[in-house]
Amino acid sequence: MRRLEPAGTADLAEAYAYPVTEPWLRANMVASADGAATRGGLTEGLGGPADRRLLSLLRALSDVVIVGASTVRAEGYGPVRPREWWGDLRKGRPPVPPLAILSRSLDFDFDAPVFTEALTPTIVVTCPSAPAERVRACEKRAEVIVTGGEWADAGAALDALAERGFVRQLTEGGPRLLAEFVAARRLDELCLTMSPQLTAGDAARVLNGPAMEPMPLRLGHVLQDDDFVFLRYVRG
């Protein structure tokens, strides 16, 4: 098993390179060893320095970071910030990937930094059932994509992003959104950080949705840092 630290940025970028020929959806999630996707309602208590570095690297490699609105609200998401150590990973592309937030309620503070301080404008993916006045407020602060009906269609959302050139797609969840992508059979890769702790309780797993036909996975690689394990699975 290879160690994540002290692998250089170039080594890690190579290990996590996207395929070049087609749109590709990668998820990056963290779970405790007994499968909890949150501790105290957040991910903070599960991660560590190497996990945060990997999250940042995966952002640097992506064209867009796709996230559910509950995660944005729970984690107080700000816009993606560039890091000096990214070097030339963003060469020929905007300095950071935009966030693409899925939401039906559009229950956001549109004056929050995630909208006002984004170096690459934030995108909101919503549906026709979203409140019209919230859509108008949102349009002043973000590019708005409307798909689906009662809810946005998860697959159509990914297609709409790919049509705009965002083909190297990274989703950071949350578990409900990730379950939708998997149910739509659109997930290509899962990067799963296993956090060395047991928590029990009723926290969601990294997928939180109705039971479905299992999706087989193939192991791409395993990295390790201290007691953390970083699994990279691709669609089987």
Ligand X SMILES: NC(=O)c1ccc[n+]([C@@H]2O[C@H](COP(=O)([O-])OP(=O)(O)OC[C@H]3O[C@@H](n4cnc5c(N)ncnc54)[C@H](OP(=O)(O)O)[C@@H]3O)[C@@H](O)[C@H]2O)c1
Query: Residue type for 162, please?
Result: A
- Across the chain, where does the E strand assignment appear? 2-3, 24-32, 64-68, 99-102, 123-126, 143-146, 168-171, 189-195, 217-225, 228-235
**Total interface residues for ligand X by CB under 6 A:** 32
Binding letters toward ligand X, positions 101-140, x by CB under 6 A: -xxxx-x-------------------x-------------
Among 90, 93, 164, 176, binds ligand X (CB under 6 A): 176
Which residue number has the CB closest to ligand X?
174
**Token representation of residue 218:** 């193939």
Cβ contacts of residue 137 below 8 Å, gap of 6+?
Answer: 106, 110
Among 9, 56, 199, 208, binds ligand X (CB under 6 A): 208
Is the CB of 95 or the CB of 162 nearer to ligand X? 162
Is the CB of 38 or the CB of 120 nearer to ligand X? 38
* CA-based nearest residue to 181, from 156, 160, 161, 217: 156
- Please give the residue ranges that form the binding site for ligand X (CB under 6 A): 29-31, 37-38, 41-43, 68-71, 74-75, 102-105, 107, 127, 151-152, 154, 172-177, 180, 206, 208
